[in-house]
């Protein structure tokens, strides 16, 4: 009788626990991953950055790296975070730029000197497209330096045809730092990538327990961990300790809805540069851009998106550039609010970039110019993306 009662109690306890062990529409963290549980397969791809860096001292959270301090390999993340095995089966890939030799004797080696390049973006996008077509992969996490992470994620959001979750993540403090944000950010990013609810939402950004759309997120603080925000639209969801929860859906075209794809892009995208508007900003800088062969210019305008006026200002230079076939797009340096399609702006031939940041408007203009130079068609692209 005791044996029968004990068996019944164990069976009932197991039956109650099973729903919490399987991957749910919103990913919960099981307390234990029993043998044989079919966890989602998440690919963890490293593109370097602060999260892949460490210092010789735990209190050094801003001046890390240097001679004799090794980088953090993606395999070390998995080894340091056994908790990952509770939510996904994680495999790793290393897409970090190689360490370059010192620029001068006595100087430290440089990791990917010059920052992210278009060659690296193409390489990662092609790999993401391969993973999109791999039936054994359920989600992807890409680690990246926070300085240019938002625009890199935006590029992938435009050129990779994928419905599976793709989540970008990084950290503001090195892996070795006291109270480093990297470990929890990485765990939460894997949780987001492992949940079916994250599929079909385009490329996501997950840091500081917030989930933002790649289109909208931007970095606002140099060192604070709460640096990433979507200024106008807010977070799409959260990665809380108990569950991953979404509250909104993107309405703009992205990933599997995009007309751009990495497989059909030219080897080199058209040159587009960014000019900043400020009091007495000169027009000759725009003239120099055109002279150097730019096919498009993004002006980060004052107020609601205004270039500087006057005979020597940006407005006159824009007209000269347009006369040579250069397409001009304007953003607002306020970082909040849309650049509106006013009658005066339509008359000027300048294309409003909605609420995109200048660096993201630059990437979209590059892609648009790879297909067309028609301002009306390019405006249509900015309206839809």
Tens-digit pLDDT string for the chain (385 aa): 333 333 333 333 333 333 333 444 676 766 666 555 789 999 999 999 999 999 888 998 888 876 778 889 999 999 999 999 999 999 999 999 876 555 566 555 544 444 678 999 999 999 999 999 999 999 999 999 999 999 999 999 999 999 999 999 999 999 999 999 999 999 999 999 999 999 999 999 999 999 999 999 999 999 999 999 999 999 999 999 999 999 999 999 999 999 999 999 999 999 999 999 999 999 999 999 999 999 999 999 999 999 999 999 999 999 999 999 999 999 999 999 999 999 999 999 999 999 999 999 999 999 999 999 999 999 999 999 9
- Same fold for the domain at 19-257 and the one at 268-384? yes
Domains of the chain by residue range: 19-257, 268-384
Q: What is the pLDDT of residue 37?
A: 73
Q: What is the pLDDT of residue 3?
A: 34
Those residues with Cβ within 8 angstroms of residue 311's Cβ, 6 or more apart along the chain or in another chain: none
- Catalytic status, residue 50: yes
CB atoms closer than 10 angstroms to residue 234: 12
- Indicate which residue of 4, 50, 92, 152 is catalytic: 50
Q: What is the pLDDT of residue 98?
A: 74
Q: What is the pLDDT of residue 160?
A: 98
What is the per-residue pLDDT across 66-98, written as a single tens digit (0 to 9) for each? Answer: 677 888 999 999 999 999 999 999 999 999 987
Look at residue 193 and give its three-state secondary structure.
Answer: helix
338: exposed, middle or buried (C-beta count within 10 Å: 0-12, 13-18, 19+)? middle
Q: What is the pLDDT of residue 34?
A: 56
CA-nearest of 156, 352, 385, 362 to 251 is: 385
Question: How many secondary structure helices (H) and strands (E) does the chain include?
Answer: 10, 16
CA-nearest of 328, 317, 324 to 286 is: 317
User: What CATH number labels 19-257?
Assistant: 3.40.50.1170
Give the Å distances, CA to CA, from 253 to 153, 213, 214, 218, 268: 14, 12, 12, 19, 23
The CATH fold of domain 268-384 = Rossmann fold (3.40.50)
Look at residue 222 and give its three-state secondary structure.
Answer: coil
Gap between the terminal Cα atoms of the chain = 67
State pTM to two decimals.
0.87
**Taking a C-beta distance cutoff of 8 angstroms, is the pair 129, 162 a contact?**
yes
**Rounded to 5 degrees, what are φ and ψ at 235?**
-75, 150
CB atoms closer than 10 angstroms to residue 172: 25
């Amino acid at each position: 009788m005791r044996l029968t009662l004990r068996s019944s109690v164990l069976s009932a306890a197991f039956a109650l626990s099973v729903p919490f062990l399987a991957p749910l529409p919103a990913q919960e963290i099981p307390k234990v991953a029993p043998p044989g549980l079919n966890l989602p397969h998440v690919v963890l791809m490293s593109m370097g950055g602060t999260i892949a860096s460490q210092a010789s001292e735990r209190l050094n959270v801003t001046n890390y790296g240097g001679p004799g301090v090794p980088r953090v390999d993606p395999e070390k993340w998995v080894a340091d975070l056994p908790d990952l095995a509770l939510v996904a089966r994680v495999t790793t890939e290393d897409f970090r730029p190689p360490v370059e030799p010192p620029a001068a004797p006595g100087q430290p080696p440089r990791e990917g000197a010059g920052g992210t390049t278009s060659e690296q973006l193409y390489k990662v996008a092609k790999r993401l497209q391969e993973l999109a077509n791999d039936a054994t992969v359920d989600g992807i996490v890409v680690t990246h330096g926070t300085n240019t992470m938002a625009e890199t994620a935006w590029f992938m959001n435009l050129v990779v045809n994928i419905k599976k979750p793709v989540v970008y993540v990084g950290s503001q403090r090195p892996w070795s730092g006291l109270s480093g944000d990297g470990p929890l950010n990485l765990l939460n990013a894997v949780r987001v990538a492992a949940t079916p609810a994250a599929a079909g939402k385009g490329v996501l950004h997950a840091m500081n327990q917030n989930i933002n759309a790649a289109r909208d997120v931007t970095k606002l603080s140099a060192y604070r961990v709460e640096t990433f925000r979507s200024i106008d639209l807010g977070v799409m969801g959260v990665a809380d300790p108990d569950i991953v929860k979404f509250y909104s859906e993107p309405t703009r075209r992205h990933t599997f809805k995009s007309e751009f794809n990495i497989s059909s892009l030219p080897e080199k995208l058209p040159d587009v540069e960014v000019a900043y508007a400020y009091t007495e900003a000169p027009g000759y800088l725009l003239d120099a851009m055109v002279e150097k062969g730019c096919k498009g210019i993004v002006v980060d305008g004052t107020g609601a998106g205004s270039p500087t006026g006057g005979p020597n200002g940006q407005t006159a230079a824009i007209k000269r550039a347009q006369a040579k076939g250069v397409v001009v797009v304007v953003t607002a340096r306020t970082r909040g609010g849309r650049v509106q399609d006013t009658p005066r702006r339509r008359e000027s031939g300048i294309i409003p970039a909605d609420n995109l940041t200048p660096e993201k408007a630059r990437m979209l203009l590059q892609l648009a110019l790879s297909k067309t130079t028609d301002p009306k068609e390019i405006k249509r692209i900015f309206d839809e993306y």
